Amino acid sequence: MTKEIKTIIKEMKRQVGSTTATVQHEDPFHVLIATVLSQRTRDENTEKAAKSLFKKYNTPKKLAVAKTNDIEKLIKPSGFYKVKAQRIKKISKILLEKYGGKVPRDVESLLKLPGIGRKTANCVLVYAFGTPSIPVDTHVHRISNRLGLVQTKTPAQTEAELIRAVPKKYWLIINELMVKFGQRVCKPRKPRCDICKLKKMCRYYHNTLEHHRGF
């Protein structure tokens, strides 16, 4: 399995380029809020909402005292903006009251924040603090199953299986690689198998090929 994973990492890098997770740590608060905005929406919508929000309110202190309807207007492109605005405001207040305005660096504390699940917590660890973790979003869950690295039904199961299967030295880059790969090659609908360098070892591709041969 380790050899197979090395091949997957190598080929994904060739197709999507290098990753920034191991060398570039972003503002922890911005990472945390951006991942809240990313829930149940497209990446481009997340970027648009985050850019508008941070242009006006870029610290926990500013967001904690901001009017909820002002936050809603700024993050509307992300969808479910009413719920997200309330969560963002609550998170900001908690960070000020419990953590001195700083984002905690451990999963347990992060998971206690409103609306924060394992994916969000792991994203903060990887992209803000450079702590080896495996954030499992829809791209990672889909691609891991398509390639046959795991056979799981939920992101939580996928995370557990990947932690067992993937050497720790790859944990920091696997999310970013699979997200880019999922956006450009292994798309949710109409995956671009024609240009994929991993199709020879892909369970999804071979199952699809066998299905078409049967007709």
Residues identified as active-site: 119, 137
DSSP three-state, residue 62: helix
193-196, long-range: CB < 8 A, 24+ apart? 195/15, 196/15
Helix-strand-coil split of the chain, %, nearest 5 = 65, 0, 35
Kind and range of the H or E run holding 139: helix 138-147
Return the closest-CA partner of residue 114 out of 46, 48, 33, 40. 33
Residue type (1 letter), 70? D
Q: Could you tell me which of 130, 133, 134, 156 has the C-alpha nearest to residue 24?
A: 130
Please answer whether residues 91 and 66 qualify as being in contact, where contact means their C-beta atoms are separated by less than 8 angstroms: no
